[in-house]
A and B are shown apart, each in its own frame.
Chain A
Amino acid sequence: AQSVAQPEDQVNVAEGNPLTVKCTYSVSGNPYLFWYVQYPNRGLQFLLKYITGDNLVKGSYGFEAEFNKSQTSFHLKKPSALVSDSALYFCAVRDGSYNFNKFYFGSGTKLNVKP
């Protein structure tokens, strides 16, 4: 069965410091992996995705994520955090089967960036 785990409910980081939000997954076949961000009173917005190719994926707002197949992880990273990055972050996975567009989400990690 497909599943996604985000082991940290909350991550606190000082502005200017690097940040990491962790995600591990379980999926049959090749994984398609995603990160979404949710700002207060807003819907989720797409940040980045890994489908195939380079294990380091770059996305919006300076975020990147590293796919690690052996550790079944897809951690979100940013070299220098901004206060405006404070939000709720969701990792998601979908089955790699061609015509199956069903997504599974983690429980979310709240990122707090302090000035």
Chain B
Amino acid sequence: DADVTQTPRNRITKTGKRIMLECSQTKGHDRMYWYRQDPGLGLRLIYYSFDVKDINKGEISDGYSVSRQAQAKFSLSLESAIPNQTALYFCATSAAPSITGANVLTFGAGSRLTVL
């Protein structure tokens, strides 16, 4: 099984619908992230969480919300999806800096979202 699992892998929805992307990890990492990938723009940070009680906005948080249900689970929601949220979404994890290898991100396989 993958260390970081994202569901769904692909989703097509309509404008105005609520969408949730889920992420779970077996790495035991405290830190989790949601990124968005658009062609030519690379990865942009949406939200990040350093532990269950810590949620922080990233560069492009408008129109998104997150929930850290447990150390291993971090979900991303689009309350009312719009077409310019069509993108590839990645969940990632990392350990805290005090642990060897802490600087490395482990990514899920991605969730491709299309908003019509």
Contact = CB atoms under 8 A, between A and B. Distances in A.
A9 to B, nearest CB: 7
A45 interface: yes
Given A98-B97, A101-B97, A44 B105 contact: yes
Given A34-B104, A46-B104, A9 B109 contact: no
Interface in A65-114: 90, 92, 94, 98-99, 101-108
A102 B45 contact: yes
A43 interface: yes
Interface residues of A, number: 27
B109 A107 contact: no
Given A9-B40, A43-B4, A107-B40, A101 B104 contact: no
Contacts of A43: 4, 90, 92, 107-110
A107 B42 contact: yes
B12 interface: no
Interface string A26-58: 000000101010000111111001010000000
B94 interface: yes
Nearest to B102: A101
A34 B33 CA distance: 17
B64 interface: no
A101 B107 contact: no
Q: Which residue, A90, A98, A105, has most C-beta atoms of chain B within 10 A? A: A105
Contacts of A94: 103
Chain A CB within 10 Å, residue with most, of B43, B50, B104, B106: B43
The 3 closest A-B pairs by CB, nearest first: A43-B107, A107-B42, A105-B43
Given A34-B105, A43-B92, A46-B105, 10 more contacts: A41-B109, A43-B4, A44-B43, A101-B102, A101-B103, A102-B45, A102-B58, A103-B33, A103-B105, A105-B44
